[in-house]
Structure 1
Amino acid sequence: MATADLPGTGDQRPTRRGLGAVFAAHPRAWLAGAGALVFVLLGTGAVMAGAATGGVEPSAASVSATASPTPTPTATVPPARPSPAAVTAASRLRTCSVAGLATDPRLANFQGQVVNATTGEVLFDRGGTTASATASALKVITSAAALNVLGPDYRASTTVVKGAEPGQVVLVGGGDLTLSRLPTGSEPFYTGAAHLDNLAAQVRTAWDADPANAGIPLTSLVLDSSYFSGPGWDDGWARSELGLGFMPEITALQVDGDRDNPARSTSPRSEDPIGRAGSAFAEALGGGVSVSAGTAPAGATQLGAVQSQPVSTLIQQSLIVSDNTIAEMLARLVAIQSGAGNSFSALQQGIVGGLASYGVDTTGIVIKDGSGLSPANAVPPRYFTELFVKINAREGHLGVIFDGLPVAGGPSGSLSYSDRFSGANAAADGAVFAKTGWITTGYTLAGVIRSADGTPLTFAVYALGNVRDNAKQAIDTITTGFFRCGDNLSNN
Structure 2
Amino acid sequence: MADETDAPRDEPSVDPEAAAPAHAAGAGGILTRISTFARRHRMPLAIGAGVLAFALVGTAAVLTGRGVATAEPVAATTSATPSATPTPTPTADAGRPQPAAAAGVNRVRTCSVADRAADGRLANLQAQVVNAATGEVLYDRGGTTPSRTASVMKVLTSAAALNVLGPDHRATTTVVKGAEPGSAVLVGGGDVTLSRTPSGTETVYPGAAHLDDLAAQVRAAWNADPSNPPLTRLILDASYFGGEEWQSSWDTVERDQGYMSQITALQVDGDRDDPGANTSTRSTDPIGRAGDAFASELGGISTIERGVAPAGAAQLGAVSSPTVAQLVDKALVVSDNSVAEMLARLVAIQTGAGNTFEAINAGVLQGLQEYGVDTTGVTVVDGSGLSDFNAVPPSYLTQLFVKINAREGNLGVLLDGLPVSGVRGSLSYSDRFAGDNSVADGAVFAKTGWIETGYTLSGVIHAQDGSTLTFAIYALGDVTDAAKQAIDTLTTGFFLCGDNLANT
Q: Calculate the TM-score normalised by the size of structure 1.
A: 0.82
| Partner residue, 2:4 | none
The answer to whether the Cα contact below 8 Å between 2:378 and 2:393 also exists between their aligned partners in 1 is yes
Alignment of structure 1 residues 199-278 onto 2, 5 Å: 199-213=214-228, 216-278=229-291
1:448 aligns with 2:463: no
Match of 1:124 among 130, 139, 142: 139
CA distance in 1, matches of 2:186, 2:103: 64
CA distance in 1, matches of 2:205, 2:154: 17
Instruction: Label 1:126 to 1:278 Cα distance change in 2 as closer, same or farther (>3 A).
Output: same
| Partner residue, 1:42 | none
Moved more, 272-281 or 89-98: 89-98
| Partner residue, 2:501 | 489
1:339 aligns with 2:352: yes
CA distance in 1, matches of 2:98, 2:483: 53
The answer to whether the Cα contact below 8 Å between 2:234 and 2:301 also exists between their aligned partners in 1 is no
Letter in 2 for 1:283: S
| Partner residue, 2:381 | 368
SS at match of 1:458: strand
CA distance in 2, matches of 1:288, 1:347: 37
| Partner residue, 2:170 | 155
| Partner residue, 2:430 | 418
| Partner residue, 1:406 | 419
Letter in 2 for 1:185: G
Letter in 1 for 2:337: N
Alignment of structure 1 residues 90-239 onto 2, 5 Å: 90-213=105-228, 216-239=229-252
Instruction: Label 1:274 to 1:89 Cα distance change in 2 as closer, same or farther (>3 A).
Output: farther
| Partner residue, 1:30 | none
CA distance in 2, matches of 1:440, 1:489: 31
The answer to whether the Cα contact below 8 Å between 2:234 and 2:295 also exists between their aligned partners in 1 is yes
Letter in 2 for 1:161: V
CA distance in 1, matches of 2:105, 2:180: 77
1:385 aligns with 2:398: yes
CA distance in 1, matches of 2:333, 2:428: 10
SS at match of 1:212: coil
CA distance in 2, matches of 1:82, 1:285: 87
Match of 1:473 among 468, 480, 485: 485
- Alpha-carbon offset, residue 487 of structure 1: 0.6
Structure 2: give runs of 5+ residues left out of the alignment.
Answer: 1-95
1:464 aligns with 2:479: no
Say which one has the larger Rg: 1
Instruction: Label 1:93 to 1:268 Cα distance change in 2 as closer, same or farther (>3 A).
Output: same
Structure 1: give runs of 5+ residues left out of the alignment.
Answer: 1-79
- Alpha-carbon offset, residue 192 of structure 1: 1.0
CA distance in 2, matches of 1:402, 1:443: 21
Instruction: Label 1:297 to 1:481 Cα distance change in 2 as closer, same or farther (>3 A).
Output: same
- Alpha-carbon offset, residue 287 of structure 1: 3.8
- Alpha-carbon offset, residue 82 of structure 1: 13
CA distance in 1, matches of 2:97, 2:377: 43
Deviations 1:51-98 (A, max 9, x none): xxxxxxxxxxxxxxxxxxxxxxxxxxxxx99989x9866421110011
SS at match of 2:427: coil
Report how many aligned residue pairs link the two structures: 410
SS at match of 2:459: strand
| Partner residue, 1:6 | none
Give the ranges of 4+ consecutive aligned residues of structure 1 lying more than 6 Å apart after TM superposition: 80-84
Match of 2:339 among 312, 326, 331: 326
| Partner residue, 1:38 | none
- Alpha-carbon offset, residue 230 of structure 1: 2.0
CA distance in 2, matches of 1:154, 1:436: 25
Alignment of structure 1 residues 294-305 onto 2, 5 Å: 294-305=307-318
Q: Calculate the TM-score normalised by the size of structure 2.
A: 0.80
- Alpha-carbon offset, residue 186 of structure 1: 1.1
- Tell me the percent identity: 68
Letter in 2 for 1:293: R
1:285 aligns with 2:304: no
CA distance in 2, matches of 1:330, 1:486: 35
CA distance in 2, matches of 1:89, 1:227: 59
CA distance in 1, matches of 2:108, 2:216: 69
CA distance in 2, matches of 1:362, 1:83: 41
- Alpha-carbon offset, residue 194 of structure 1: 0.3
- Alpha-carbon offset, residue 240 of structure 1: 1.2
CA distance in 2, matches of 1:268, 1:233: 15
Deviations 1:3-30 (A, max 9, x none): xxxxxxxxxxxxxxxxxxxxxxxxxxxx
The answer to whether the Cα contact below 8 Å between 2:231 and 2:300 also exists between their aligned partners in 1 is no
SS at match of 2:283: coil
- Alpha-carbon offset, residue 291 of structure 1: 0.4
Instruction: Label 1:391 to 1:281 Cα distance change in 2 as closer, same or farther (>3 A).
Output: same
SS at match of 2:227: helix
- Alpha-carbon offset, residue 288 of structure 1: 3.2
